[in-house]
Amino acid sequence: MIRQDLLNGEIARSGMSRAMLAKKIGISPKTFYNKEKKGVFNSDEIVKIVKECKIAEPMPIFFPEFVSLNETR
């Protein structure tokens, strides 16, 4: 599951809307909203989102469970 709050913050910081980002990564806005709601993007989409939004630290957004595991070690 993704952290929607962090993703939405990065999208806003990039100056794009979610609909604009969807088109840039090659999916429809409806598909983007559905994937965001379910909390699941495929690896190609994640790479494109990170690139388009220039996300410096994608792990806490797309893989929060791994970040939590590393913090407890």
Other beta carbons within 10 angstroms of residue 22's beta carbon come to: 21
Distance CA 46, CA 49 (A): 5
Considering the entire predicted model, what is its pTM?
0.87
Per-residue confidence of the chain (73 residues) as pLDDT tens digits? 899 999 999 999 999 999 999 999 999 999 999 999 999 999 999 999 999 999 999 999 998 877 655 555 5
Enumerate the domain spans of the chain: 4-72
Class of domain 4-72 as given by CATH: mainly alpha
